[in-house]
Amino acid sequence: MGVEFVDLFNQWASSYDDTVSGKDPEYKEVFEDYDAMLQELADLAVSPVLEFGMGTANLTRKIVAQNKVVVGVEPSEEMRRIAIVKCPEAAVYEGDFINYPSLQLPIKSIVSSFAFHHLKEDEKRLAIRAYYDKLEEGGKIIFIDTLFKDEAHKWSLIKDAEKKGYLNLAQDLQEEYYAYLSELEQMFLEVGFEVSFKQKNKFAWLIQAKKGE
């Protein structure tokens, strides 16, 4: 489910790290402060960690460097191929936010960066419910992703991208399933999570959702 973007990621995998390091002007602002954002997320994660959409393992490496155990799930074969080389310490599985191998570990953190927007609204809701059951008491979901504050904010980002000639970005902002903050907040609250949002750059937000103890 939600894996309609995988071909794109197979093609993007070999140049993905150039994009996140700011070499592609079109996506520079999307990934502004990428390393610092991932580091903040890594610092917050409590082991054992389940990571979805690990891509080329940039977040995974930061978590593993703190001697935390990470199980990574990634649908793109090309991304997994790079992730395994860059982060041999992590267990890496084929799968997605909803379908992934059953794990025997007690999971204390579920993390993901720049990937949750690949799920449609009903898929996001399904995943969040399942993560509530999967997490240990006191466990946390910690995501970083692009969010829209509201409809006006969405269209201001799209218009701004168009004005700069960033037509791929403008198209992504319309075609991928970026959530509205209030809609995502509601999905977490209705399951029983405490949730908070912190804006990290023009596009990306840190989302923390805690399961009560």
Ligand X SMILES: C[S@@+](CC[C@H](N)C(=O)[O-])C[C@H]1O[C@@H](n2cnc3c(N)ncnc32)[C@H](O)[C@@H]1O
Return the residue of 49, 92, 113, 131 that touches ligand X, per CB under 6 A: 113
Based on its alpha-carbon atoms, the radius of gyration of the chain, rounded to whole angstroms, reads: 16
How many alpha carbons lie under 13 Å from residue 210 in its C-beta half-sphere? 9
Q: Is 96 annotated as a binding residue?
A: yes
- Determine, following the binding rule CB under 6 A, whether residue 41 of this chain makes contact with ligand X: no
Strands (DSSP E) contained in the chain are 49-52, 70-73, 91-93, 107-113, 135-148, 179-180, 193-199, 204-211
Looking at the DSSP assignment, which residues form a beta bridge with residue 93? Answer: 73
Choose the binding region for ligand X from 112-120, 175-183, 185-193, 200-208 (rule: CB under 6 A): 112-120
Q: Binding site annotation covers 53? A: yes
Q: Which residue number, 6 or 195, has a Cβ lying nearer to ligand X?
A: 6
End-to-end Cα distance, the chain:
31
In the complex, minimum distance from the CB of residue 34 to ligand X, in angstroms, rounded to a whole number: 7
Q: Least Å distance between CB 100 and ligand X?
A: 8
For residue 51, say whether it is annotated as part of any ligand binding site: no
Could you tell me the two tokens for 85?
């080389």
DSSP letter (8 states) at residue 99: S
Q: Which of residues 55-84 bind ligand X (CB under 6 A)?
A: 55, 58-59, 74-76, 79
Q: Which residue lies nearer to ligand X by CB, 64 or 119?
A: 119
Residue with tokens 């489910």: 1
CB 137 within 8 A of CB 213: yes
What is the nearest approach in angstroms of ligand X to the Cβ of residue 75?
5
- Provide the annotated binding site: 53, 74, 96
What is the binding site for ligand X (CB under 6 A)? 2-3, 5-6, 9, 20, 52-55, 58-59, 74-76, 79, 96-97, 113-115, 118-119
